[in-house]
């Protein structure tokens, strides 16, 4: 074995996941599923995602460009695949688990400026590749990881990720490693048969870089037959039993079970020289069963503003909200169908007949900027007046305060200074600590923050039911915002009947609100959707579903 660049303190084994043919075929779900299986055998498992873009993190990316920005406990704004990792592994990631080209180069350039390379020419190989391996090993050491999964963003053949693939090739000379290539096997409609050529070619590209995959995971509409598997096996130099099916599924949460039918983890552990231990996937199996065949079905609406790219619809911008609502249906044996409503297209004169009748509740999720606001506010007014369950998240809370100020407190045209700088009644205003910040990246109020809940409120009861209140009635949720309810209006809003159910412990910021005289009108400045996973839904989503069913 090659001399190690950085110490591997816990004898971590590595599983590298690469992609082929097209992007967006669910490499993240494959990674998350393997993580679930490994965790169910009690292996200390960590997931790392490499994004080959120059951005330092995903914080400055538009949701319609790269999907949702996921927020970690420690305030990282990272790739949405981490949402899948957390929802499957039921474990928290740290911001450094997302490695980008920008982060790697920044570290190397800083070292160069510090003179750390003592006169050497600083080069892509070995300095950038060493830095990549170093970051991976540091994370694994910090997390005492027995198994580290590393997903390489993009597909083989992209210019951008080639240096990361090279670093993985080098890593395989130092450590025990398994390479898994997730490829796409199309079934062209007119031909009606699965075509393996794109997979053969993407594996050839991988081999040119010096990586021979141990497994090929084949994304396709159906499981592949023996003929195709033999073909892929022969051309790609991979054992036939190591060609793993990854067919279209009703729910992504089923994938770990499909993998286990094929003894995928056993084969991986063999290669890594690890012993298989007792696996407990029973709870997971039961939840998947409900997702596939629930006793009841209901429809709720999500009024978003990031729903279109070009001519296609995009729901990835709100993926954590969509998943959190699915999780919350499970305890009620209920499948939740989502009607996506584009607030940019909602008329400002909504009245009852405009509103889809069968929707039992409405969620207004987070967002930024000035577009699509009026439709959201009208929707909130409609929910408030018609006693329709409503859950507002971050921007959703801010807009429900604006609606309440305008229509209940008679503050005409009340607004947020994010939407109208010169509004007469700035009921939502920029956080004081954010006022003088000019930079864009990582400058919001980010990550896990405490809130003190008011006993007797709906929100208090929900968190209590979930055992999430500590002895001082404090709960923690993740945040990502620059604006807040303006303290000058706290009294007016409260006097008119808006309940502040949760505030920051220093009493300055309002974290949760509700209207008591309503079936369920609840909003939070936080993003509880980021902490929901298949095994444990989150209180506010649970309460929302419960009220939709009543």
* Residues tagged active-site: 394, 527, 529
Helices (H), 94-240: 101-113, 129-142, 162-174, 197-208, 226-236
Residue closer to ligand GLN by CB (options 105, 368) is 368
Told to check if 60 binds ligand GLN by CB under 6 A, we report no
Residue closer to ligand GLN by CB (options 483, 521) is 483
Told to check if 529 binds ligand GLN by CB under 6 A, we report no
State the minimum distance, in angstroms, from the CB of residue 367 to ligand GLN. Answer: 5
Residue closer to ligand GLN by CB (options 231, 376) is 376
Partners of 217 in the β-ladder: 182, 244
Q: Which two tokens stand for residue 218?
A: 């084949």
CA 483 from centroid of its chain's CA atoms:
22
Told to check if 137 binds ligand GLN by CB under 6 A, we report no
Told to check if 215 binds ligand GLN by CB under 6 A, we report no
Tell me which residue has its CB nearest to ligand GLN. 366
- Give the strands of the sheet with 415-416, arranged side by side: 415-416, 426-430, 483-485
Residue closer to ligand GLN by CB (options 423, 473) is 423
Told to check if 103 binds ligand GLN by CB under 6 A, we report no
Residue closer to ligand GLN by CB (options 181, 480) is 480
Residues 347-366 that bind ligand GLN (CB under 6 A): 366
Told to check if 478 binds ligand GLN by CB under 6 A, we report no
Contact between 527 and 540 under an 8 Å Cβ cutoff? The reply is: no
Q: Please select the residue that binds ligand GLN; options are 117, 340, 368, 500, rule is CB under 6 A.
A: 368
Q: How far apart are CA 416 and CA 478, in angstroms?
A: 22
Looking only at the bridges linking them, the beta strands covering 215-220 and 177-184 are parallel
Residue closer to ligand GLN by CB (options 406, 479) is 479
Residue closer to ligand GLN by CB (options 163, 314) is 314
Q: Which two tokens stand for residue 182?
A: 């997730």
Told to check if 482 binds ligand GLN by CB under 6 A, we report yes
Contact between 394 and 526 under an 8 Å Cβ cutoff? The reply is: yes
Told to check if 531 binds ligand GLN by CB under 6 A, we report no
Told to check if 214 binds ligand GLN by CB under 6 A, we report no
Query: 491-517 b/e with 16+ CB inside 10 Å = b?
Result: ebbeeeebbbbbbbeeeebbbbbbbee
State the minimum distance, in angstroms, from the CB of residue 394 to ligand GLN. Answer: 3
| Closest to 97 (Cα-Cα) out of 56, 136, 45 | 136
Residue closer to ligand GLN by CB (options 220, 398) is 398
Packing angle of the helix pair 101-113, 129-142 (nearest 10 deg): 110
Contact region for ligand GLN (CB under 6 A) — 96-104, 199-207, 272-280, 475-483? 475-483
Q: Please select the residue that binds ligand GLN; options are 147, 321, 394, 513, rule is CB under 6 A.
A: 394
State the minimum distance, in angstroms, from the CB of residue 527 to ligand GLN. Answer: 7
Q: Please select the residue that binds ligand GLN; options are 215, 483, 530, 541, rule is CB under 6 A.
A: 483
Binding-site size, ligand GLN (CB under 6 A):
11
HSE at residue 233, side-chain half, CA atoms within 13 A, is 13
Told to check if 83 binds ligand GLN by CB under 6 A, we report no
Told to check if 481 binds ligand GLN by CB under 6 A, we report yes
Residues 6+ apart with CB under 8 A from 315: 307, 322, 340
Q: Which two tokens stand for residue 90?
A: 């039921």
Q: Please select the residue that binds ligand GLN; options are 480, 514, 528, 529, rule is CB under 6 A.
A: 480
Told to check if 423 binds ligand GLN by CB under 6 A, we report no
State the minimum distance, in angstroms, from the CB of residue 323 to ligand GLN. Answer: 17
Residues 6+ apart with CB under 8 A from 99: 48, 49, 50, 51, 132, 135, 136
Residues 6+ apart with CB under 8 A from 246: 26, 30, 182, 217, 218, 219, 220, 255, 258
Contact between 23 and 160 under an 8 Å Cβ cutoff? The reply is: no
Contact region for ligand GLN (CB under 6 A) — 52-60, 221-229, 294-302, 394-402? 394-402
Told to check if 67 binds ligand GLN by CB under 6 A, we report no
Q: Please select the residue that binds ligand GLN; options are 86, 418, 429, 529, rule is CB under 6 A.
A: 418
Residues at the contact surface with ligand GLN, assessed by CB under 6 A: 366-368, 394-395, 398, 418, 480-483
């Amino acid at each position: 074995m090659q001399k190690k660049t950085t110490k591997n303190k816990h004898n971590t084994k590595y599983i590298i996941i690469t992609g082929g043919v097209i992007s967006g075929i669910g490499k993240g779900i494959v990674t998350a599923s393997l993580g679930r299986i490994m965790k169910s055998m009690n292996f200390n498992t960590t997931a790392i995602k490499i994004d080959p873009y120059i951005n330092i993190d995903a914080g400055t990316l538009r949701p319609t460009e790269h999907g949702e920005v996921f927020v970690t406990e420690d305030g990282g704004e990272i790739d949405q695949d981490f949402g899948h990792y957390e929802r499957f592994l039921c474990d928290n990631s740290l911001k450094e688990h997302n490695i980008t080209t920008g982060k790697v180069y920044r570290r190397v350039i800083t070292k160069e400026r510090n003179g750390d390379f003592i006169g050497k020419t600083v080069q892509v190989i070995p300095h950038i590749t060493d830095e990549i391996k170093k970051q991976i090993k540091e994370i694994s050491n910090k997390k005492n990881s027995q198994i580290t999964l590393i997903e390489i963003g993009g597909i083989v053949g992209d210019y951008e990720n080639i240096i990361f693939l090279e670093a993985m090739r080098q890593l395989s000379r130092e450590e025990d490693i398994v390479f898994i290539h997730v490829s796409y096997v199309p079934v062209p409609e007119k031909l009606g048969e699965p075509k393996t050529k794109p997979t053969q070619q993407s594996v050839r590209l991988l081999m040119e870089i010096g990586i021979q995959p141990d497994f090929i995971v084949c994304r396709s509409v159906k499981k592949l037959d023996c003929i195709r598997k033999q073909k892929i096996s022969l051309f790609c130099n991979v054992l036939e039993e190591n060609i793993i099916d990854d067919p279209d599924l009703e729910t992504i949460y089923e994938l770990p079970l499909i993998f286990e039918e094929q003894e995928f983890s056993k084969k991986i552990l063999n290669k890594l020289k690890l012993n298989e231990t007792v696996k407990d996937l029973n709870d997971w199996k039961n939840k998947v069963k409900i997702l596939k065949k629930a006793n009841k079905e209901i429809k709720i609406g999500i009024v978003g503003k990031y729903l279109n790219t070009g001519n296609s619809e995009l729901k990835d911008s709100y993926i954590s909200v969509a998943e959190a609502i699915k999780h919350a249906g499970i305890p009620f044996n209920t499948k939740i169908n989502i009607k996506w409503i584009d607030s940019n297209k909602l008329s400002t004169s909504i009245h009852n007949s405009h509103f889809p009748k069968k929707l039992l509740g409405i969620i207004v999720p987070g967002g930024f900027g000035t577009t699509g606001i009026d439709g959201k506010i009208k929707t909130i007014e409609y929910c408030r007046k018609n006693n329709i369950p409503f859950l507002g998240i971050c921007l959703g809370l801010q807009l429900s305060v604006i609606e309440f100020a305008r229509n209940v407190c008679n503050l005409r045209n009340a607004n947020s200074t994010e939407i109208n700088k010169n509004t007469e009644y700035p009921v939502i205003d920029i956080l004081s600590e954010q006022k003088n910040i000019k930079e864009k990246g990582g400058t919001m109020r980010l990550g896990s923050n405490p809130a003190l809940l008011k006993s007797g409120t709906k929100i208090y009861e929900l968190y209590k039911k979930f055992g999430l209140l500590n002895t001082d009635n404090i709960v923690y949720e993740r945040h990502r915002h620059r604006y807040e309810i303006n303290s000058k209006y706290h009294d007016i809003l409260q006097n008119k009947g808006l309940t502040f159910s949760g505030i920051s412990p220093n009493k300055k910021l309002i974290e949760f609100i509700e209207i008591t005289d309503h079936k369920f009108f609840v909003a939070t400045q936080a993003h509880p959707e980021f902490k929901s996973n298949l095994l444990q839904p989150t209180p506010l989503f649970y309460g929302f579903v419960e009220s939709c069913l009543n």
